[in-house]
Chain A
Amino acid sequence: MAKQHVSTVINGDPIEFLCDANKSLLDVLRNDLGMTGTKEGCGTGDCGSCSVTLDGRLVCSCLVLGVEAEGKSVQTIEGMANGEHLHVLQRKFLEHAALQCGICTPGFLVAARSLLERNPDPTEEEVRFWLAGNLCRCTGYNKIIEAVLDAAREMRGA
């Protein structure tokens, strides 16, 4: 089968690519489009490091086919800052030392942003359950939860 042509929007920019039908969106992002900010930790949807949003819906890009991006809008970590102006979540993760090795951080930031879009005033437990799909082995989660709650406060202007 010839590769399939896909036209999509990634971080607000229209992008076209060719890809085999059985290639995952994660593979396309990292290996065809050179966007290596989205990370692979397991390839089976069990660690959340490859989180992106697809038409606003938080998903694991390792469990989405590249061809499914046709006509949709993809948001990745590379699109979270506004040029050199960090998103408030990115800033809070740095201030709270909410990352150590940083491999899971892109996934956590994309997931946390998707949470705060739906629930601007989450409780600690709501943050913990929403982020349960993102594994971290270095931090023990404390500072990640604190950073998300702090960012939520600032975004609410509370």
Chain B
Amino acid sequence: MSEMRFEQPKTAEAASALLAGTQGLAKVLSGGTDLMIHMRNGNIKPELVLDVKGIAEMNAITVEKNGGYRFGGAVSCMQLLENKAFAETWPGIIDGANLVGSIQVRGRATVAGNLCNASPAADTVPAMIAAGAIASVVGPAGRREVPVEQIPTSPGKTTLAKGELIVSFLLPKRAPHSGDAYLRFTPRTEMDIAVVGVGLSLTLDDKGVCTAARVSLGAVAERALLVPEAAAALIGTKVDEAALAKLAAAASAAARPIDDKRGTKEFRIKIAGVLARRAAEKALARAKGNK
């Protein structure tokens, strides 16, 4: 017999109460593809595991009154991939969701779980940051809205307080001539952890000049970074060669990676620039492509 308790609450508030009311370690289980591995290798021994897949609002993908998408914290990557309308609006987020683990892992893994596991190399996080996504958090003190980039702080750590969980994400309404993209570098084409990841979103005016941009780097710091200098390299330009070169330089400059078994510092700094450029080119093509 094991000391672990398993609960399946029906509302976010009930979930929050259960989390807050547990002295020992309490973990949320949505996809479980990170949690189960931590449990198996003995890193953590949770007293309570909370399965949130029974909470209606956490399973929904809806379009809000302001025209932006909202999707729940228990929506798996495969569910996002299979929602045609969402995929057409946010191809960059789909790029990231499509690279998490394998088909089997994507059948379970969620964007919320990817974010809260707080690996700096998480594949869905850079594109969510670039998109300007807002997380709706429920906790003992009620609900609050938090920009996604403010959730992870360092490997395995987030700013969520005890008893708080992410219920859903809200994405802004997509302006015309907008495009986003996520690229990562991995030795294998699948089943890999990002050595470097770049999420990038931009909007053009009808003359093709970039009026807005957000650039986020993964796996090159203790958490995913929002890099304003990289965005500044694009805003006001036609995203031409000069702008792309400045973007690449800014991305490399912002990277503060470590040497580890997946890549060296120099390699990550160099690749951050290379991928930032390629992500911008892909986002640009998408921005010009749609109406």
**Residue numbers in A under 8 Å from B36 (CB-CB):** 24, 45, 62-65
**A94 part of interface (Cβ distance < 8 Å):** no
A2, A4, A44, A60: residue with the most chain B Cβ atoms closer than 10 Å: A60
Query: Does A58 lie within 8 Å of B3, measured CB to CB?
Result: no
How many chain B residues touch A (CB < 8 A): the figure is 29
Nearest B residue to A43, CB-CB: B40
The 4 tightest CB contacts between A and B, nearest first, are A133-B102, A132-B190, A21-B6, A20-B2
Per-position contact with A for B32-51: 1 when CB-CB < 8 Å, else 0?
Answer: 11001101110000000101
Interface size class of A (residues with CB under 8 A): 35 or more
How many residue-residue contacts, CB under 8 A, span A and B? 97
**Known interface pairs A1-B3, A62-B36, A63-B32; A57-B105 also in contact (CB < 8 Å):** no
**B103 part of interface (Cβ distance < 8 Å):** yes
**B284 part of interface (Cβ distance < 8 Å):** no
**B29 part of interface (Cβ distance < 8 Å):** yes
**A3 part of interface (Cβ distance < 8 Å):** yes
Which residues of B come within 8 Å of A, CB atoms? 1-6, 29, 32-33, 36-37, 39-41, 49, 51, 53, 76, 78, 101-105, 107-108, 189-191
Q: List 14 A-B contacts (CB under 8 A).
A: A1-B2, A20-B2, A21-B5, A43-B40, A46-B191, A57-B78, A57-B107, A57-B108, A59-B108, A60-B33, A67-B6, A68-B53, A129-B189, A133-B105
Nearest A residue to B37, CB-CB: A44
Tell which of B4, B78, B101, B190 touches A20, judged by Cβ atoms closer than 8 Å: B4
**Residue numbers in A under 8 Å from B40 (CB-CB):** 24, 43-44, 62
